Structure 1
């Protein structure tokens, strides 16, 4: 494999690994927000922002943790046939499916960028009573989808290396 492919895979994998290891602690952020919501309701001083903020924390957790999940191979597979295949046959199948994933993520990224640009241009706000601006969470979604696309490309290169039986 060319040196630029090796460098690309190494850099993307390292960035997503480090970010994923940090983002996995966002579950505690979400739990804290929901705990605050429960305590504030029990004391008679309900907070208007807690439910939506917990949703934003969950979106951040899932979207930015997605590339790390792909890297670890913890995505869902039907092992009915896949588990019995050779490494090379698995790599062929994975290469084809990751091309489909890259197409999906490309379309998703295009839509996310358009939506974020609209949100910034018109200062879009949520329709809830709290009314936060939407551009910060939409920006997080754009970053997460981009990182997932970069990780999918990295996985494609790894599959090609397995098919060609070369070290990456």
Structure 2
């Protein structure tokens, strides 16, 4: 079990690092939006177009990347919304058992399904034709727009990271359920804010 927990720690570290880098994406997105607005007003004043659809699309591409990379980070930190008022009063072992079952039955299969059904559309976006030949990348329908292939590829990246984090969470849930870790560690692993009940 300790070897599995080390794998879980490595996945946690990866998604923590990626999650931390999304702050830079937010700053870039805000800066691009600010520059775009200023350029639009200055352009109107001087009668020249200083902005383009590429800048607007870049802004929402960055927003999408931030959103995609947040999937695994949110799962790691248990920030998803819970509406079950019984859940908060359960012991860490009982909560971990419910989370383990949900992860194994729903989250992991969902991630795998999402990756499988996304591969062909993403490859088509990169120019892979149904006959196996390669054509042009899928481009934005807007004038001066950006290619769609890189942002569509982020869908696969997002679900691969989410799948890895789901596996890491399942390992931690299993460690809690099997009492491999102490109750204090169980509360820390799950980042539960409810009192620990032994």
Normalised TM-score (structure 2): 0.78
Matching of residue 47 in structure 1 with residue 61 in structure 2: no
Q: Distance in 1 between matches of 2:108 and 2:86?
A: 23
Distance 1:48 1:63 in 2: 22
Provide closer, same or farther for how the CA distance between residues 29 and 59 of structure 1 changes in structure 2, counting only shifts above 3 A. same
Is contact 1:40-1:47 (8 Å) kept? no
Q: Give the Cα–Cα distance (whole angstroms) in 2 for the partners of residues 42 and 64 of structure 1.
A: 33
- Does residue 32 (structure 1) correspond to residue 6 (structure 2)? The answer is no
Q: 1:74 aligns with which of 67, 70, 79?
A: 79
| Number of the residue aligned with 2:125 | 119
Separation in 2, partners of 1:159, 1:106: 20
Unaligned runs of 5+ in 2: 44-48, 129-134, 182-188, 190-198
Richer in helix (by share): 1
1:141 and 2:155 equivalent?
Answer: yes
Tell whether 2:115 aligns with 1:86: no
> Which digits, 9 at most, give the CA deviation of each residue in 1:32-58, with x for residues without a partner?
121122112111233222221111001
Secondary structure, aligned partner of 1:80: coil
- Secondary structure at the residue paired with 1:17? helix
Match of 1:14 in 2: 13
CA contact (8 A) 2:114 2:159 kept: yes
2:114 aligned with 1:108: yes
Give the TM-score normalised by the residue count of structure 1: 0.91
CA RMSD of aligned residues (A): 1.6
Tell me which stretches of 4 or more aligned residues in structure 1 moved more than 4 Å.
none
Larger radius of gyration: 2
1:97 alignment partner, one of 99, 102, 115: 102
- 1:162 matched to which residue of 2? 176
Mapped partners of 1:96, 1:36: distance in 2? 48
Residues 24 and 65 in structure 1, CA contact (< 8 A), matched pair in contact too = no
Aligned residues: 167
- The answer to whether the 8 A contact 1:60-1:140 is kept is yes
| CA shift for structure 1 position 2 | 5.2
- In the TM superposition, what is the alpha-carbon distance from 1:79 to its structure 2 partner? 4.1
